[in-house]
Chain A
Amino acid sequence: MKQNRRLNLEDALVLYLDEDLLSLGTMADQMKEQLHPDNTVTYIVDRNINYTNICSSGCRFCAFFRSDGHPEGYVISHEVLGDKIRETLDLGGTQILLQGGMHPELGLAYFEDLLGFIKEKHPIHVHGFSPPEIHFLSRKEKRPVKEVLARLKSAGLGSIPGGGAEILVDRVRKKVSPNKCLTDDWLAVMETAHGLGLRTTATMMFGHVETLEERLEHLFRVRDLQDRTAGFTAFIPWTFQPDNTRLRIADKATSAEYLRLLAVSRLVLDNIPNIQASWVTQGPKIGQVALKFGANDLGSTMIEENVVAAAGVSFMLSREDMIQIIETAGYRARQRDTFYNHV
């Protein structure tokens, strides 16, 4: 790094293992300052809407899903969805994050109709359908990913969230999410989306069965794709929350590990402009500290969030809380849209 050379996996490993926490943070902070010299930290006002919790994937780390036919299973109605969007707009929201389970009965026509309903009545950006959902839909409809994405886009889809990446290493995916798309599939959906002009984020969920090397490999898979497409707007790592899931682990990833990984992400992902802090999994205190370890965005106000809450974590922050967290860290707080433009 000192020679302005790109980090390789070996460098990242040495940084992660050998640097003390605050030296690593200082390097990440300096890189963040170079990329974002305006002393500003952004946040978005949006709502996570899960159109269904019925999911045939059955990932072992998930506490949110219900199997088809389960009494607690639901598919959202237009009425409820419309109410949620109106509330979001009333609160100054610019985006909904629309994701769901992989419901065996919901086909492309359902989603085109859903997007049509949203876009017809509501001036809001739809950030929706993570790669596993797209991949699942492509399989179900026996249509290529590109066609599925193109049709969703023309129905009103604005961008794609980077969920379902978990750890982009097949050994890990086969263990924790055996029915979900593999690494190359995930990356292929993103590459295709970028090719169609759909921007996306990338995430990583760590702290379960993966090794440190696998965490780092994930970063390099994302970086390699970004070199080809430049379609990722942001990278968002968070830690696995084990409560109410079927994945038993010895020890949860701790805050120090989170900050270390966040800092290494900032340093490795030299081609991804934004790194998001996850106050939802880390709590507001570490969420604020993350702003000194490479993050330049505090994520969403999360008017609604169901998935992490189902795993036993329920931090709540108002927009005022988020602004205060940013400002007391010494930055200007700016609301942004999906593409990180200030609004």
Chain B
Amino acid sequence: MDTVFSDSTLNSIREKVEQGVRLDFEDGVALYRSPDFLGVGRLAHLVRTRKFGSDAFFVRNQHINYTNVCLNRCLFCGFSRDAGEENAFTFDLQDAEDQLRSRLHESIREIHIVGGLNPSLPFSYYLDLLEMVRRIRPEAAIKAFTAVEIDWFSRATGLSIEAVIDQLKEAGLAMMPGGGAEILSARVHRKLYPRKIGPDRWLEVIRKVHGFGLPTNATMLYGHVESLEERVQHLLKLRTLQDETNGFTAFIPLAFHPENTRLSHIRPAGGLEDLKTVAVARLMLDNIPHIKAYWVMITPGLAQVALSFGADDLDGTIVEEKITHMAGARTPKGLSMEEISHLIRSAGFHPTERDAFYNAV
């Protein structure tokens, strides 16, 4: 890179990036605060290109949100309901099977399953659900249940985290998504999601999951009450755990959708904030392989542009996403493989279809 940055603090960060020196907390905050928005993006692009050249990944996947009944009722959630409330739903196994069967004509490589903490569902429900998915879709990897759900299964059954994971793995669980991390800060936890497990427990559960040889993703829900410093701390906590376990596959920044939540007075993050968050994550998380731009939350157009700001993955075709759409997202509920490939190609990247573990297929 030959150009000098308009923000001179970026020059010292560039030196570190070029020499492969790890960035620290102050660097992370400086990147977030830098007025040279494109400069930050170009640094992230440098790292992204070093890792993946012009490849951009996507997966043919399907989401199953099995229930929105949830004990946690986090303030930022537009999806959850109390039992019996209007729009509350819980799939029985047949509903889930019907949803899978509706797309059996397509090739799907990843099934993503997450839901609320619904006390009416016994632990056997989840085992049956996994076994059913494995039977109907033997070729797809099952990526299911956040650390929050795993912790809940453990508390509800009295089984240890290890025993829960062991049984789920036996039933077909291959990987876990990265949800429920929100902002890994005790302050934000108290304020927005006090009933959900907090930062320490989230990291502890994930550590155990990784210890079992199950890879997971990691997320960060940003754009509500958190500070920039708390975002950077969040990234560092993930990086520290990754040093220990090497179990994270991808990091996914999630843009908060205030509509239909109890935080609807907050304005959603703008496009620049979204892109900067992708770029800072790419630069700080030197040990997490992939950075995903989740088009459901930030729109397909911005996710496409994020490929030039450090992201290397556009998630997938999805179809029937519920969590963000119940919070008012006006993005499409699914994209065709052709649409995703076109987004990638017309941004100058090479569309690379992957499986759940980021192996090119």
Q: Does A237 belong to the interface (CB within 8 Å)?
A: no
Q: Does A275 reach chain B (CB closer than 8 Å)? A: no
Are A283 and B35 interface neighbours, CB within 8 A?
Answer: no
B3 at the interface (CB under 8 A from A): yes
- Please tell me which stretch of A43-51, A56-64, A83-91, A254-262 contacts chain B, meaning at least 4 of its Cβ atoms lie within 8 angstroms of it: A254-262
The answer to whether the Cβ of B317 comes within 8 Å of any Cβ in the partner chain is no
Chain B residues, CB < 8 A from A258: 301
Q: Which of A25, A29, A256, A287 interacts with B348 by CB under 8 Å?
A: A256
Return chain A residues, CB-CB under 8 Å to B307.
Answer: 256
Residue from A21, A29, A286, A324 in contact with B347 in the complex, judged by beta carbons closer than 8 Å: A21
B267 to nearest A CB, angstroms? 6
Whole-angstrom distance between the alpha carbons of A26 and B343 in the complex? 22
Q: Is the CB–CB distance between B348 and A20 below 8 Å?
A: yes
Residues of B within 8 A of A289 (CB): 271-272, 275, 302, 305
Is residue B38 within 8 Å, beta carbon to beta carbon, of the partner chain?
Answer: yes
B42 to chain A: which residues have CB within 8 Å? 22-23, 26
Pair A288/B271 contact, Cβ less than 8 Å: yes
Measured in the bound complex, the distance between the Cα atoms of B270 and A328 in whole Å is: 7
Contact pattern, A 314-343, Cβ under 8 Å of B = 1, otherwise 0: 000000010011001110000000000000
CA distance A95 to B297 in the complex (A): 35
Given contacts A254-B342, A254-B343, contact A285 B38 (CB under 8 A): no
Chain A, 286-320, contact with B by CB distance < 8 Å: what is the 0/1 string? Answer: 11110010000000000000000000000000000
Q: Per DSSP, are chain A's interface residues mostly helix, strand or loop, or mixed?
A: helix
**Which positions 14-32 of chain A face chain B at CB distance < 8 Å?**
20-23, 25-26, 29
Residues of B within 8 A of A257 (CB): 346
Tell me whether A278 is interfacial, beta carbon within 8 Å: no
Chain A neighbourhood of B308, CB < 8 A: 20-22, 256
Q: Which of A21, A29, A282, A288 is within 8 Å of B270, CB to CB?
A: A288
> Nearest-CB distance from B342 to chain A (Å)?
5
Q: Which residue of A lies closest to B342 (CB)?
A: A251
Q: Which residues 264-313 of B have a CB within 8 angstroms of A?
A: 267, 270-275, 298-302, 304-305, 307-309
A292 touching B346 by the CB < 8 A rule? no
Report which of A29, A256, A286, A328 forms a contact with B38, defined as CB distance below 8 A. A29
- Bound-state CA distance A254–B56 (Å) is 16
Q: Mark B343-357, 1 if CB is under 8 A from A, else 0.
A: 100111000000000
The answer to whether A286 and B271 touch across the interface, beta carbons within 8 angstroms, is yes
Residue of B nearest to A255 (CB): B301
Most buried by A among B270, B271, B307, B342: B271
Which chain B residue shows the least CB distance to A285? B271
B3, B272, B301, most chain A CB atoms within 10 A = B301
A-B contact pairs, 21 of them (CB 8 A): A20-B45, A21-B348, A22-B41, A22-B45, A23-B3, A23-B42, A25-B38, A254-B301, A255-B301, A256-B307, A256-B346, A258-B301, A283-B299, A285-B298, A285-B299, A289-B302, A292-B37, A292-B38, A329-B37, A329-B270, A330-B35
Q: What are the 8 A-B residue pairs with the smallest beta carbon separation, nearest first?
A: A255-B301, A285-B271, A256-B347, A288-B271, A21-B308, A289-B271, A288-B270, A254-B346
17 new A-B contacts at CB < 8 Å, known A253-B346, A285-B298: A20-B308, A23-B3, A25-B38, A26-B3, A254-B346, A256-B348, A257-B346, A282-B301, A283-B299, A284-B270, A285-B299, A285-B302, A288-B270, A289-B275, A289-B302, A292-B272, A324-B267
